[in-house]
Amino acid sequence: MSEHPQFEEIFDEYVLGALEGEEKRTLDAHLSTCAGCGRKLEEARERLALMAFAAPPTRPSPAVKDRLMRQVAAATRLRFTPAPVRKRSGFWGWGVPVFAVAAVVLAIITGFLAHRNALIEARLKTLEASEAQFMAAEKQERAGMARAQSIMDVLTSPATLKVSLVPAQAHPAPQGKAFFNPEKGLVFYAADLPQLPAGRTYQLWLVPTHGNPLSAGIFATDAQGNGEVLLPPLPRGVSAKAFAVTIEPAGGEPQPTGKKVLIGAVS
Amino acid sequence: MGESKAQLPGVPLHEEGRAADLDLIRRVAQGDESALSILYARYSGVVYSVANRVLRDTGAAEEVLQDIFYQLWGNAANYDAARGGLGGWLLVSARNRAIDRLRRRKPVDTATTEEVIPMACNLESSVAQSELMSRIRSAFDLLPPSQRQAVELAYFEGMTHSEIAQHTGEPLGTVKSRLRSALQSLRQVLKP
């Protein structure tokens, strides 16, 4: 068996497609004989998959889903078009139904191509706008370095408590996760929270072991019901017993007054 | 797993949002459009974000997104769900197809591209995805700029070592060293 690679990172470079020439050939040859390194390659593929989360988060337009589901429905109709079971007849020698199916196929393909043409024209118009938007967004990203460091500190510090929040009542969908480090701060994510009516907001609370709940800030949710609170101002060194999310009037309240939607105790 | 419940059309069960990828892909293989819809809700955001960042073109990214899910619909019966890793497959496909389109080349190594990636981590919940995104984006932000550039050119542009060297004007040895350092730093973070 040829030698194992010197650097672990070579597997990542391989799955990235960055490896080339002699280095790539050598690794290819080695992989064909070494099961252990095959597993390392699989691990590198998993890391490649996760790198996707480094992309700036954007949402596709709802039109994409519409097009997808129409495409899916059309494919389903074709698949279940009953096959003609009758004598050969008609001008073409195969009978009408096959012709009808062919016409449907043609219509779908034509429709699809026409749609693609429309997409191409729309794309030409939006290309420059997208470019400008991305340049601006990337500038903003780089400006967030110090904040990124603070967030990393909270998420990765061994002293950080991880608290999962579950619905306070029997309503399965909303969920939340709080990462709290008394010295480094609080990072909180929520998902699947229902949209609130105007004049109401969600508010996050830290419930200390002694004393009244402390407000950790108000937050809004996006269309998907996701929300977050990152590094809110809190007194240092607080001992937390639990975290909770309530619904409060817009602007928040000094103490919780509204319904609890999420709660999680420090274990 | 659990028995499937009859449901009124248009009234989603809350539990649907929690259905495992494994169950959903099996339902897709049986022609269940609602299962595809849930998978789309779960993964379209990150699939689209990658394609959009690679292609810098919302129209092209939308086509990649639609193609990936349409292919999932067509091939679900062939998907070995027991091996797990649907999320991983979607994310690697998104990046690789976008790169292929960016570089206008035929998908070369489809065996590698299409391979199932058993993922140890949970990608199925929005909270897990939010956490991964925050953690991984922060880690990229923290890389020294030259290392960050090297890994972004490799990942988002699909460049080889020599292509990165040509693009940046740096010697090949320097590029390899920077990319390896970046990947070494990122290993700690690219974990479940």
Higher pLDDT, A66 or A110: A66
Q: Do A126 and B58 touch (CB under 8 A)?
A: yes
What is the rounded CA–CA span in Å between residue A146 and residue A153?
A: 11
Q: Across the interface, which of B60, B135, B162 has its CB nearest the CB of A155?
A: B135
Instruction: Say what the pLDDT of residue A246 is.
Output: 95
Instruction: Say what the pLDDT of residue B11 is.
Output: 39
Instruction: Say what the pLDDT of residue A163 is.
Output: 85
The residue written with tokens 């949970």 in the block is B122
Q: Do B139 and A152 touch (CB under 8 A)?
A: yes
CA atoms A13, A19, A25, A26: torsion sign = negative
- Which residues, at least 6 apart from A5, have a Cβ–Cβ distance to it below 8 Å? A11, A27, A30, A37
Is-above-0.90 flag for pTM? no
Instruction: Say what the pLDDT of residue A18 is.
Output: 97
Interval A207-222 mean pLDDT: 92
Q: Do A52 and B49 touch (CB under 8 A)?
A: yes
Is pLDDT above 50 for A92? Answer: no
Closest A-chain CA to B138: A148
Q: Do B136 and A65 touch (CB under 8 A)?
A: no
Residues of B in contact with A146 (CB under 8 A): none
Q: How confident is the model at residue A245 (pLDDT cuts 50, 70, 90)?
A: very high
Is pLDDT above 50 for A37? Answer: yes
Instruction: Say what the pLDDT of residue A93 is.
Output: 44
Instruction: Say what the pLDDT of residue B3 is.
Output: 39
First to last CA, chain B: 24
Task: Classify residue A198 by its DSSP letter.
Answer: T
Is pLDDT above 90 for A225? Answer: no
Instruction: Say what the pLDDT of residue B4 is.
Output: 41
Percent of chain A with pLDDT over 90: 44
C-alpha distances (whole Å) from B87 to each of A201, B41, B63, B120, B162 are 33, 12, 19, 11, 31
Percent of chain B with pLDDT over 90: 60
Closest CA to A55 of B153, B136, B175, B20: B136
Higher pLDDT, B135 or A267: B135
Q: Does B115 touch chain A (CB under 8 A)?
A: yes
Closest B-chain CA to A154: B135
Per-residue pLDDT tens digits for A93-128: 444 555 566 666 666 666 677 777 777 777 777 776
Among A108-117, A140-149, A258-267, B74-83, name the most confident range: A258-267
What is the rounded CA–CA span in Å between residue A108 and residue B73?
A: 17
Closest B-chain CA to A172: B14
The residue written with tokens 């988060």 in the block is A57
Instruction: Say what the pLDDT of residue B77 is.
Output: 81
Residues A227, A231, A237, A238: what is their CA dihedral angle, to the nearest 10 degrees?
Answer: -20
Task: Give me the residues of B, 39-78, that contact A with CB < 8 A.
Answer: 40, 44-50, 52-54, 56-63, 65-66, 69-70, 73-74
Which 3 state secondary structure label does DSSP give A266? coil
C-alpha distances (whole Å) from A210 to each of A240, A262, B80 are 9, 20, 53
Q: Do B58 and A16 touch (CB under 8 A)?
A: no
Question: What interhelical angle do A35-50 and B86-102 show, nearest 10?
Answer: 80
Q: How confident is the model at residue A64 (pLDDT cuts 50, 70, 90)?
A: very high
Residues of A in contact with B180 (CB under 8 A): 7, 9, 13
Is pLDDT above 80 for A146? Answer: no
Do residues B11 and B48 lie in contact, with contact meaning Cβ atoms separated by under 8 Å? no
Burial pattern B10-28, b for ≥16 Cβ within 10 A else e, equals: eeeeeebbebebbebbbbb
Is pLDDT above 80 for B8? Answer: no
For chain A, the average pLDDT equals 83
Q: Mutation target for A interface from B91, B109, B168: give the one with most A CBs within 10 A.
A: B91
CA atoms B141, B147, B153, B159: torsion sign = negative
Residues of B in contact with A142 (CB under 8 A): 141
Is pLDDT above 70 for B178? Answer: yes
Say if residue A119 is exposed, middle or buried (CB neighbours under 10 Å; 0-12, 13-18, 19+). Answer: middle
Instruction: Say what the pLDDT of residue B10 is.
Output: 44
Per-residue pLDDT tens digits for A149-205: 888 888 888 888 888 887 676 544 788 999 999 888 999 999 989 989 988 999 999
Q: In this structure, what token pair is assigned to residue B59?
A: 């129209």
Task: Classify residue B190 by its DSSP letter.
Answer: S
